[in-house]
Amino acid sequence: MTTAVESGAQGVRWDLTPLAPSEEAMKERLDAAVGDAAAFVERWSAKSLETIEPTSLRALLRELADIRAARYEARDWAFMLTNTDSENPAVLDIRAWVDNGSPRLDDAIRHFELAWMALPDDRARSLAEDGAVARDRHYLLGVRRFRPFMLSPAEERALSARDATAVTAWQTLRDRTLGSLSARFDDGTGEREWPLSELESARRAHPDRDVRRRAQETSTALFEPVLPVIAHCYDSLVADRLAVDDLRGHDDPIDQTNLENKIDAGVVEALLAASEAHVEIAHRWFRRKAALLGLERLDAVDLQAAAVEARQVLPWDAARRLVVDMFGGVTPALGTEAESFFSENRIDAEPRRGKTSGAFCAWPSTRVPGFVCGNWTGQLRDLVMLAHELGHGTNYALAAQAQTDNSLRQGIAIGEVPSTFAELLLVEHLLSADEDLGRALLARELDQAVMAAYMSAAFARFEQGAYALRAEGQALNADRLNALCEAAVAKVWGDAVTDELGCGKLWWASLPHFIKARFYTYAYTFAFLLAAGLVARSREPGFAERYERFLTAGGSASPAELMAVVGVDLGDPEIWNDGFAVLEGFVERMC
């Protein structure tokens, strides 16, 4: 284990004062916003929207943007504190009062959106098209995509009132059931009690194959007895989602997710079909990776294990230069924005007690700057995370300069394009700067690419199968889910990957995605393939200027409009081939 001193990250902590000058100041800001939200609901009744003038609508949208900004500032602040100082009781109190106050802000936002959706089409459209509200045009039109599926206000209230028991309770039951599991295990450093989550990371990525296999066997044995409970949680949620779909008039279970992502069903189907059609590229990588690992064939337990060991620990300062150079190579503005995260102490990179293990970027609003959190140990995966999170950070930095708080954020599908693009550019950048490190990174990215471009699409197919069974009246028990899941992943693995320990069938139970939301994973496929396609386009003249415009647009346009800025036509089913061609090139470079 590298220490923070060796990796140079000791003392690299963020300074949150630009977001929250003090705890008191944040409390005052949230209290004031709660007051503003109540006044907002009072002032802008649903009735008042029926006759509102465009200039008044502009005033309304400004107030709404401030409420939204205050909401994200308070929530992100509490989130950032909890993730870096989770054992501090004062932080838990902060979280509690933010959790108490911020739903009032959600209420005001929902109040407006429901009233706005209730307006007749022609009235809403003429208001949204008025120059006075041009900056929030897409937001106004976008909210209305849910309109055809809206129920009466009383029904909407009844549905949301039961969320805590009908939805959250199943998710909590699943998390608690899995969270309580642990087993005795020895990874070579002495036997001790291992929680399931640690066993799961060991089975995926431990460098020793024997440890991976034993960790897999141990976690499978932990899963076996609880599978009926986890299956029941999933079955109940699927049944509930189908019942609500029926009330709302959705005829396909993927509809709701597509609406949230603002992506047409035809685009999603073309994406999934393209993933299936290009599966041979994944097989080529599996075979190549087996050779690198000295194996005859890759097994499921080897999928996430490093194929090429990186020889060195990268010091923090070198990583900073590397990623800032990489962003600066795309456009000077991106380089400047990336550098300011470091120079303004907006990154928390020091691993320490009380800090969670993941990485994230939070850009709360257009009024304050954004921050990145990670745990720097000098490993390649940390470098990838840094590039990924700064991909988000530089995107928000540009968008925040141009957009309102109503139009700042894209959905997850488009939102992951700049971060994935940054990861892939880092590979290109490193391959030219440091061949050895570049190859190790490329091998790692190929594993990620397989997850995004193939496995994530296969999971969407698994869900289609599960919802179809449930809609026919078949309960989703563990045996049926195992069989569906096994069949979906077997299509990706083909005969290039063995599954000696039977891990393929258990993905449905171990991944949280299917319980938390539905059809969440195809967004990764979408973002990865578009980002990979952009790598090829990035060499075309004029790309830098177009890419900057794409980032600056934030969430002010639909995914199709945003991608058109960088020359990508989402309606063209051939578009996914560009991403696969880049992926194929990456596999070739490893041969």
Q: Determine the residue type at 401.
A: Q
Rounded to the nearest whole angstrom, what is the least distance from the CB of residue 388 to Zn ion in the complex?
Answer: 6
- Cα angle for residues 490, 496, 497 (degrees, 5° grid): 60
| CB contact at 8 A, 388 and 421 | no
Q: Is 521 in the site for Zn ion (CB under 5 A)?
A: no
Give the nearer residue to Zn ion in terms of CB position, either 331 or 419: 419
Give the nearer residue to Zn ion in terms of CB position, either 185 or 526: 526
Give the nearer residue to Zn ion in terms of CB position, either 359 or 380: 359
Stretch that binds Zn ion, among 144-152, 257-265, 317-325, 412-420 (CB under 5 A): 412-420
Give the nearer residue to Zn ion in terms of CB position, either 419 or 482: 419
Give the nearer residue to Zn ion in terms of CB position, either 375 or 419: 419
Rounded to the nearest whole angstrom, what is the least distance from the CB of residue 143 to Zn ion in the complex?
Answer: 25
Give the nearer residue to Zn ion in terms of CB position, either 285 or 528: 528
Rounded to the nearest whole angstrom, what is the least distance from the CB of residue 555 to Zn ion in the complex?
Answer: 15
Half-sphere exposure of 307 (CA within 13 A, CB side): 27
Rounded to the nearest whole angstrom, what is the least distance from the CB of residue 224 to Zn ion in the complex?
Answer: 33
Find all residues with CB under 8 Å of 138, minimum gap 6, and list them. Answer: 407, 555, 556, 557, 558, 561
Task: Please report, as residue ranges, which positions from 216 to 245 form the binding site for Zn ion (by CB under 5 A).
Answer: none
Structure tokens at 460: 């969407």
Structure tokens at 138: 């897409």
Taking alpha carbons only, the member of 389, 392, 383 closest to residue 440 is 383
Rounded to the nearest whole angstrom, what is the least distance from the CB of residue 359 to Zn ion in the complex?
Answer: 9
Q: Is 407 in the site for Zn ion (CB under 5 A)?
A: no
Q: Is 102 in the site for Zn ion (CB under 5 A)?
A: no
Q: Is 256 in the site for Zn ion (CB under 5 A)?
A: no
Give the nearer residue to Zn ion in terms of CB position, either 218 or 419: 419
Stretch that binds Zn ion, among 46-54, 332-340, 347-355, 411-419 (CB under 5 A): 411-419
Total chain residues near Zn ion (CB under 5 A): 1
Task: Please report, as residue ranges, which positions from 287 to 346 form the binding site for Zn ion (by CB under 5 A).
Answer: none
| CB contact at 8 A, 288 and 587 | yes
Give the nearer residue to Zn ion in terms of CB position, either 403 or 419: 419
Please, what sign has the CA dihedral across residues 429, 435, 437, 440?
Answer: positive
Stretch that binds Zn ion, among 140-148, 275-283, 416-424, 534-542 (CB under 5 A): 416-424
Give the nearer residue to Zn ion in terms of CB position, either 395 or 404: 395
Stretch that binds Zn ion, among 299-307, 396-404, 419-427, 453-461 (CB under 5 A): 419-427
Rounded to the nearest whole angstrom, what is the least distance from the CB of residue 417 to Zn ion in the complex?
Answer: 10
Rounded to the nearest whole angstrom, what is the least distance from the CB of residue 152 to Zn ion in the complex?
Answer: 37
| CB contact at 8 A, 429 and 540 | no
Stretch that binds Zn ion, among 96-104, 189-197, 304-312, 417-425 (CB under 5 A): 417-425
Q: Determine the residue type at 253.
A: P
Stretch that binds Zn ion, among 117-125, 203-211, 414-422, 543-551 (CB under 5 A): 414-422
Phi, psi of 186 (to 5 degrees): -130, 115
DSSP string, 321-383: HHHHHHHHHH-HHHHHHHHHHHHTT-EE----TT--SS-EEE---SSS--EEE----S-HHHH
Stretch that binds Zn ion, among 23-31, 252-260, 265-273, 418-426 (CB under 5 A): 418-426
360-362, strands of its sheet edge to edge: 347-348, 371-373, 360-362
Rounded to the nearest whole angstrom, what is the least distance from the CB of residue 185 to Zn ion in the complex?
Answer: 31
Give the nearer residue to Zn ion in terms of CB position, either 216 or 419: 419
Q: Which long-range contacts (CB under 8 A, 24 or more apart) does 245-252 make?
A: 247/151, 247/155, 248/149, 248/150, 248/151, 249/148, 249/149, 250/149
Q: Is 395 in the site for Zn ion (CB under 5 A)?
A: no
Rounded to the nearest whole angstrom, what is the least distance from the CB of residue 449 to Zn ion in the complex?
Answer: 15
Structure tokens at 34: 């709660």
Region of 175 (left: φ > 0; alpha: ψ -120 to 50; beta: rest) is alpha
Q: Is 419 in the site for Zn ion (CB under 5 A)?
A: yes
Q: Determine the residue type at 59.
A: A
Give the nearer residue to Zn ion in terms of CB position, either 105 or 362: 362
Rounded to the nearest whole angstrom, what is the least distance from the CB of residue 395 to Zn ion in the complex?
Answer: 10
Half-sphere exposure of 202 (CA within 13 A, CB side): 23
Q: Which long-range contacts (CB under 8 A, 24 or more apart) does 574-577 make?
A: 575/533, 576/270, 576/271, 576/274, 576/275, 576/278, 576/529, 576/533, 577/274, 577/278
Rounded to the nearest whole angstrom, what is the least distance from the CB of residue 217 to Zn ion in the complex?
Answer: 32
Shortest-Cβ-distance residue relative to Zn ion: 419
- Cα angle for residues 481, 199, 454 (degrees, 5° grid): 50
Q: Is 410 in the site for Zn ion (CB under 5 A)?
A: no
Stretch that binds Zn ion, among 40-48, 415-423, 525-533, 557-565 (CB under 5 A): 415-423
Rounded to the nearest whole angstrom, what is the least distance from the CB of residue 373 to Zn ion in the complex?
Answer: 12
Rounded to the nearest whole angstrom, what is the least distance from the CB of residue 330 to Zn ion in the complex?
Answer: 17
| CB contact at 8 A, 504 and 303 | no
Rounded to the nearest whole angstrom, what is the least distance from the CB of residue 501 to Zn ion in the complex?
Answer: 30
Give the nearer residue to Zn ion in terms of CB position, either 44 or 522: 522
Give the nearer residue to Zn ion in terms of CB position, either 116 or 327: 327
- Cα angle for residues 17, 19, 25 (degrees, 5° grid): 80
Task: Please report, as residue ranges, which positions from 117 to 156 form the binding site for Zn ion (by CB under 5 A).
Answer: none
Q: Is 394 in the site for Zn ion (CB under 5 A)?
A: no
278: helix, strand or coil: coil
Which residues are at the interface with Zn ion (CB under 5 A)? 419
